[in-house]
Every structure is written in C-alpha cells, then in structure tokens.
Structure 1
Amino acid sequence: MRTPGKPEELECQRLQALALLEAGHRPSEVARRLGVSPAAVSRWKKISQRAGREGLKAKPHPGRRPKLTVRQRRKLERLLLQGPLAHGYMTDLWTLKRIAAVIEKHFGVRYAPSGVWHVLRGIGWSCQKPEGRARERDEEAIARWRRQDWPRIKKSPAQRSEPCFSR
C-alpha cells in the first residue's frame, strides 16, 4: 500500500532517509525517525545505490491524461456560468448531455455523461436538484391564502382539562 502524501512530500522523505543513512544512522533508526517501515528504507537505499538521487525523485502519476487542459477547464466553467439559455437551450438547467454538447462544440472533445460528471467534480461543481414548481404558480395568491385562509382553518391547540382519576 502506498504511503499517503503528495509526491513531492514523499520524495523529500526518501531524500531525508538517504541523508540520514549517509550520516551513519542504521536503517531501523531511520525508519523509526521517519515513521516508515525498515523495508522501505532498505528499498530506497538499494534504489539510490543503483540509480543515485534521481532514482528517489517523484515520478509523474500513471494513467491517462485528461482530455481537457487546465485552461480549457477554466474556460468551460466560464461558459457554464453563462447559463444554458446563452447556449440555446430552452430551460435554465444544465444536464450532463447538454454540458457534453457544449464541450464538443467549443473544444472538439467528446465525453460520455459519466466523463462529464468527472470533469464537473474536477472544477468544483456538484449535482443540484431543482425545486419542482408549476409554471402557473401564483405567489401572490399563495401569500394571500397563507395570511387569510390558513389561520382560519388550521387546528387550534386542544383545550387542557383536568386529569380524571378512577378505580
């Protein structure tokens, strides 16, 4: 299992271990001081003997490169903040399919909806469920009903009576 931490921090830890070993400390002592296993210290020592300090440097993360660059993701966020209406949609709600279409139109990159979801999470967006309201909703009529009718029809608290005891 990989030690938690950023690659740069882990590189620093490995170089610290090498410096301590070069200063004459035993591998078990180096492991204790750095909070790692003695096996890790031995592995780092072997790597440094074989490849030098370069062998202990942080390596790039494996895996596929993102389809959108950092600059493109920033531009995507600006495009999304304009709203769906600005991009020709009839309602003011973003869906994954709509965002995929905007990405393809502006950047020439195709994404499946699940891929769009990962891009959105990467730029700090989250799923928001809109409140369902009827188009015919009349806010003034609702406020008037709450002020006038509701107090008249709501139940009043039950009258308190003396407890009754029997045998």
Structure 2
Amino acid sequence: MAAGLKRYEAEHDWLTTVRLPAYAPDLNSVEAVWSLVRGPMANTAFDTPDDLDHTLRRELRRIQLRPRLIDGCLAATGLAVNPPTPP
C-alpha cells in the first residue's frame, strides 16, 4: 500500500480497511455483474459501437431495476455487505 494511503488510514480511526488478494475475482462483485450482462450479449455481432453501447446500457439498466440481482452479486462474494458498527 502506498505511504500516503497508509498515513490516511492511520489518521482516520473511523476507516476500516480490508486487504484483499491482488487477484481475487471470486471476491469482486463486479465479476458477477459482468456475468449477468455478458450472457445476453454473448455471440452477438454488433453493427456499430452505438449498437454495443445501447445493448450494454439496456442490460445494466435491467440489473439496476432488480436490486435482488445486485444483492446476489454482493452475497456471492461471501463478504459482509454491511460494515461492522464501531464499539
């Protein structure tokens, strides 16, 4: 961790830092979101970059409108979604 970040962490006792491995896709909820987006877009040849953009935005919006999907992506990591309350 960079010295500046270590100093910031030390100066802010309310901040909880969780150190994760450098490569841990199973702990990254974005990987689960990407798998939800990637499925409907698989094996698709887009005519233009705008077609790709439109489809990607549509799929992200579909996920956004279903909070349980997002909750599932977070739960799949096994990490605590709610930060611990300080003593």
Higher RCO (C-alpha under 8 Å, 6+ residues apart): 2
The TM-score with structure 2 as length reference comes to: 0.33
